[in-house]
Amino acid sequence: MVRYAFINRLLPVARVDTERDGGLRLYLDLYHDRLGTLVDNRKAWFSGFFQTLHSFGWRKLPDLCGPALMLLLLASVISATLLGLALFFARKRAASGMRRLHGWAGLGLALATLSFASSGAFHLLAQAKAPEPMPCELCRQLRD
C-alpha cells in the first residue's frame, strides 16, 4: 500500500483509517491542525502506479534485472530514434511546407531524444561500474 507521499510536504502526518467502502484514509497535519489529504484505495493504487513509472522505482529490482530492463528501454528508444532519422534522410523532399516543417521539427526532437537516452545509458553503465564510495571521516564518526 502506498504511504503518504513526500511531495505533499506536510510531514509528519497522522494516518486515520475509516471504515467506509473504498478504504478512505485521512492524513492529518497535527502541528497546524489541518487536513493533509484524503486517499481511497483507487487513488492510492494510481499514486503508486504513477510514482513507479515516474521515478523508475521498478529499476530497484534485485541484482541486474532493474538496470538490464532500463538498458533495454533506453536501447529501444535509441533504435527507434535512429530509424526515424534514417527515414528523414532517406525520403524525398516533401511536397508541402507543413510536411517539411514537420520533418525538421522531428529532426530536432530526434536529436534531443538521442542526447537524453544516450546520456541516461552512459550514466547507467557508469553507475554499474563505479566502486562503492568511501564514507568521509565525519560520516564514519556519526555512523559509529
Give phi and psi for 113, each to the nearest 5: -65, -45
What is each CA distance from 33 to 13, 27, 95, 123, 137, in whole angstroms? 10, 11, 65, 44, 42
- 45 contacts 31 by C-beta, under 8 angstroms: no
67 pLDDT above the threshold of 70: yes
Nearest to 74 by CA among 89, 59, 52, 57: 59
**DSSP β-bridge partners for residue 29:** 34
Q: What is the mean pLDDT of the chain?
A: 80
CA–centroid distance for 100 within its chain: 33
Cell, residue 67: 538496470
Residue 106, pLDDT above cutoff 70 = yes
C-alpha torsion angle, residues 74, 77, 82, 87 (rounded to 10): 170
What was the pLDDT predicted at 69? 81
Q: Are 14 and 30 in contact (CB under 8 A)?
A: yes
The mean pLDDT of 37-66, rounded to a whole number, is 76
pLDDT of residue 112: 95
Query: How large is the average pLDDT for residues 46-64?
Result: 71
